[in-house]
Chains A and B, each alone.
Chain A
Amino acid sequence: MKKSVFYGLYILIAILIVLPFFIPNAFYMDLVIRMAINAVIVLGLNLLIGFAGQISLGHAGFLGIGAYASAVLPTHFGWHPLLAMGAGAAVTGLLAALVARPIFKLKGHYLAMATLGLGIIINITIRNEGTWTGGPDGMPVPSLGLFGFDLTSDKHWYWVVALLLSISVWASLNLIDSPFGRALRALHGSEVASQVVGVDIVRYKVAIFVLSAVFASLMGSVTAHYVGFVTPNLADFFHSIELVTMVVIGGMASVYGSIVGAVLLTALPQALATFEGWETVAFGAILMLCMIFMPKGLVPTLAAKFGKGEQ
């Protein structure tokens, strides 16, 4: 990998620094913050889909665990929000590892089915345990206090989220270039060949799956604190699909594609809101058209067209 890949990171940081001066009002500020949060989740998911060649149809479930840990633990048990966030991430990581180990010994796309099932079970549990979670109506989340300072204004949230996004991009780029990342790519290329040269495929796949699940859980906590309210919709099957779609439309195995995918698909429902009643049709049609005409996703397709690959 060339060092030029990191130029993208510098450009991203520059954009994140000047962007707030061009955001006209609170509506767009909110949209941008949600785009950045989604971008971090999608980065993690893309490591799994793009580099390990596996698909998770239950990532929203992990997001839900993080979000509800941040809502339930401080509200009902008086935990510090950061502790609650950590607990959510730990539970998610354990759960992901527990499910992934037996699944990854199998060939094919069994992870898709297992995560699908897991996500739905998590969502149903959240909906049914109303005494703790508020059931289908959701529940309020206490604000996140950091170093004696309450995070409430959108401006502050923007900088927190921008920082998280920059760190995630930097970490992803490094990870891809590390021995771990090379092993992952080898694995996507040919599992048997990578096994022959000594890559412990099950261990690597489990590690990347756990990592992406923990990413989702942490950002679920961030979402919960930012919005100040959680509902089970955060953890439903449709949201899982949205996340996978962001990965695929932006471009599998493309770090910057993840950001583009998250930005476009977070904005899409807003853009479609004017076609009242037709949002679902439009969303579905866009998905199909993108996949038929640009199966590699936006960023890799455009990069190939202009002769500059990401790698």
Chain B
Amino acid sequence: MLAEFLQFLFSGLTVGATYALAALGFTLIYNASNVINFAQGEFIMLGGMLAVFFTMSGLPLPVALVLAIIVPAIIGVLVEKLAIEPVKGAETVTLIIITIGASLVIRGLVQVWLGKNTHSLPAFSGDEPIHILGATLLPQSLWVLGVTALVVIALWYFFSRTLQGKAMLATSFNRTAAELVGINTGWVLFMSFAMSAALGALGGILVTPITLTSYDVGIMLGLKGFVAAVVGGLGNGLGAVVGGLLVGILEAMGAGYISSSYKDAIPFVLILLILFFMPRGLFGGKSTDRV
């Protein structure tokens, strides 16, 4: 009983960490620009696929991993410069379509360039499972959880202790006021896209040795990251992390105890319940609209 429960909890936390990183990406971009970036999932896919590609082409693992984060970050910035900035102030529907277009282009290019096969990465520190109270934990899961925790701490430090981080926060509260006190909001937008693509890619790389990757894994991962961001209260960083872990755990528990074929439906049932009963999410504040 306990062993089973722990097993589901471990696998839930592991995927949940990936959702949390994706949800943080959604949150960063949403705060900086009010755009819901439907291409976020493709950066998770890019991270995993590029890491596979770079290691296969003979680069040492650490170099391959760093490149697999930097390249998606550059692509994220390109998407912002070429497709989001030219339509500043457009309707939400327009922005959603543009990011969906971007996601199709990225997915299509990867499909043409790297093919439709499923790939894997070697685990960073072996496949010898760790036994805890009858449940097994892969060392790679520890990597996923550990790195995610480090990233969350680093982000917290960035936003609460550095001038750049505070500038980004200020912009998310009130863009005009931020501009008036001399914050370069163009730079803030640039940073948000770079950081959120990098976060997505990092999640994709970390989880690839466990869940495998292919050109089309981005859609579901992205949508679930989005669910996680809304569960936590869209725009709330802490909420995104808790939302991600919660979505991951509920998904794993549902798959284990209820039905594994309905596993993918669980986050979406969750989002409907949250919207009905706690529309601001778990951590979202009250908001008032100006007329």
| A→B interface (CB under 8 Å) | 49, 55, 99, 102-103, 105-107, 109-110, 112-114, 116-118, 120-121, 124-125, 128, 190, 192-193, 237, 241, 244-245, 248, 252, 277-288, 291-292, 295
Residues of chain B contacted by A107 (CB below 8 angstroms)? 289
Is the CB of B138 closer than 8 A to any CB of chain A? no
Query: Can you name 20 A-B residue pairings with CB atoms under 8 Å?
Result: A49-B93, A113-B226, A116-B271, A125-B265, A237-B223, A244-B93, A245-B100, A277-B111, A280-B108, A281-B112, A283-B108, A284-B105, A284-B107, A287-B104, A288-B101, A288-B102, A291-B94, A292-B86, A292-B87, A295-B87
Q: Given the known A-B contacts A55-B96, A121-B269, are A116 and B112 also in contact in the complex, defined by CB atoms under 8 Å? A: no
Q: Given the known A-B contacts A121-B268, A285-B105, are A128 and B93 also in contact in the complex, defined by CB atoms under 8 Å? A: no
Residues of chain B contacted by A109 (CB below 8 angstroms)? 36, 92
Taking CB as reference atom, which chain B residue is nearest A276? B112
CB-contacts of B266-285 with A (<8 A):
267-269, 271-272, 275-276, 279
Q: Given the known A-B contacts A107-B289, A291-B87, are A117 and B108 also in contact in the complex, defined by CB atoms under 8 Å? A: no
Taking CB as reference atom, which chain B residue is nearest A278? B112
New contact pairs (11) apart from A109-B36, A113-B226, CB-CB < 8 Å = A109-B92, A112-B36, A113-B271, A124-B262, A193-B291, A252-B91, A281-B105, A281-B108, A283-B104, A287-B100, A287-B104
Residues of chain A contacted by B96 (CB below 8 angstroms)? 55, 112
Q: C-beta contact mask, B106-133 vs A, less than 8 Å → 1, else 0?
A: 1111011000000000000000000000
Pick the contact of B98 from A118, A128, A241, A292 — CB < 8 Å? Answer: A292
Are B103 and A284 in contact, with the CB atoms below 8 A? Answer: yes
> Size range of the interface on B?
35 or more
| Interface of chain A, main secondary structure | helix
Are B272 and A295 in contact, with the CB atoms below 8 A? Answer: no
Is the CB of B97 closer than 8 A to any CB of chain A? yes
Pick the contact of B271 from A102, A117, A237, A277 — CB < 8 Å? Answer: A117
* 7 A-B pairs with least C-beta separation: A284-B104, A280-B108, A287-B101, A281-B108, A117-B268, A288-B101, A284-B105
Taking CB as reference atom, which chain B residue is nearest A285? B105
Within the complex, the shortest CB–CB distance from B199 to chain A, in Å, comes to 21
Is the CB of B227 closer than 8 A to any CB of chain A? yes
Is the CB of B179 closer than 8 A to any CB of chain A? no
Cα-based distance from A237 to B96 in the complex (angstroms): 14
Is the CB of B219 closer than 8 A to any CB of chain A? yes
Taking CB as reference atom, which chain A residue is nearest B269? A121
Is the CB of B90 closer than 8 A to any CB of chain A? yes
Residues of chain A contacted by B269 (CB below 8 angstroms)? 117, 121
Is the CB of B230 closer than 8 A to any CB of chain A? yes
Residues of chain A contacted by B108 (CB below 8 angstroms)? 278-284
Within the complex, the shortest CB–CB distance from B289 to chain A, in Å, comes to 6
Residues of chain B contacted by A112 (CB below 8 angstroms)? 36, 96
Is the CB of B261 closer than 8 A to any CB of chain A? yes
Residues of chain A contacted by B275 (CB below 8 angstroms)? 102-103, 106, 110, 113-114
Is the CB of B74 closer than 8 A to any CB of chain A? no
Within the complex, the shortest CB–CB distance from A295 to chain B, in Å, comes to 5
Is the CB of B135 closer than 8 A to any CB of chain A? no
Residues of chain A contacted by B212 (CB below 8 angstroms)? none
Cα-based distance from A245 to B99 in the complex (angstroms): 12
Cα-based distance from A171 to B91 in the complex (angstroms): 27
Residues of chain A contacted by B92 (CB below 8 angstroms)? 55, 109
Cα-based distance from A237 to B38 in the complex (angstroms): 12
Cα-based distance from A107 to B226 in the complex (angstroms): 18
Is the CB of B264 closer than 8 A to any CB of chain A? yes
Residues of chain A contacted by B276 (CB below 8 angstroms)? 102-103
Within the complex, the shortest CB–CB distance from B280 to chain A, in Å, comes to 9
Taking CB as reference atom, which chain B residue is nearest A244? B97
Are B97 and A245 in contact, with the CB atoms below 8 A? Answer: yes
Cα-based distance from A252 to B90 in the complex (angstroms): 13
Taking CB as reference atom, which chain A residue is nearest B277? A102
Residues of chain B contacted by A128 (CB below 8 angstroms)? 261-262
Residues of chain B contacted by A295 (CB below 8 angstroms)? 87, 90-91, 94
